[in-house]
Amino acid sequence: MNKNSSIFLAGHKGLVGSEVLNILKKNNYKKIITIDKKKIDLRDYKKLNSFFKKKKIDYMIMAAARAGGILANSTYQKDFFYENIEIQNNLLKLAVEKKIKRTIFLGSSCIYPKFSKNPIVEESLLTGILEKTNQCYSIAKIAGIKLSEAIYKQDGLDIICLMPTNIFGKNDNFNKFTGHVIPAMIQKFYEAKKNKKKEIQLLGSGKPIREFLHSIDLAEAIMHILNVPKKKVNKIFKSELPILNVGSNNRVTIKKLASIISKAFNYEGNIIFDQNFPDGTYKKNLDSSKIKKLGWKSKIKLQDGIKDIIENFPR
Asked if the structure places residue 190 within a domain, the reply is no
Asked if the structure places residue 48 within a domain, the reply is yes
Peptide bond into 119 cis (omega under 30): yes
What's the pLDDT score for residue 1? 85
Q: Which residues of the chain have pLDDT under 70?
A: none
Q: Which is it for strands 243-246 and 59-62: parallel, antiparallel or unpaired?
A: unpaired
What's the pLDDT score for residue 5? 97
Range of the domain at 133: 6-173+212-249+284-300
The catalytic position among 29, 59, 112, 137 is: 137
Asked if the structure places residue 308 within a domain, the reply is no
Asked if the structure places residue 179 within a domain, the reply is no
Report d(CA 299, CA 23) in Å as an integer. Answer: 15
Beta bridge mates, 59: 7, 102
- The model's pTM is 0.95
Angle, nearest 10°, between helix axes 181-194 and 254-265? 40
What's the pLDDT score for residue 282? 87
Q: Where are the beta strands (DSSP E) in the chain?
A: 6-10, 31-33, 59-62, 102-106, 159-164, 166-168, 199-203, 209-214, 243-246, 251-253, 270-274, 283-284
CB 195: neighbour CB atoms within 10 A?
7
Asked if the structure places residue 291 within a domain, the reply is yes
Asked if the structure places residue 200 within a domain, the reply is no
Considering only CA atoms, which of 223, 240, 71 is closest in space to residue 148? 240
| CATH label of the domain that carries residue 57 | 3.40.50.720
Active site residue 137: yes
Report d(CA 198, CA 271) in Å as an integer. Answer: 9
φ and ψ at 203, to 5 degrees? -90, 140
Domain count, the chain: 1
Asked if the structure places residue 293 within a domain, the reply is yes
Considering only CA atoms, which of 211, 212, 178 is closest in space to residue 80? 178
Asked if the structure places residue 194 within a domain, the reply is no
What's the pLDDT score for residue 22? 98
What's the pLDDT score for residue 70? 78
The one-letter amino acid at 314: P
Considering only CA atoms, which of 9, 56, 50 is closest in space to residue 33? 9
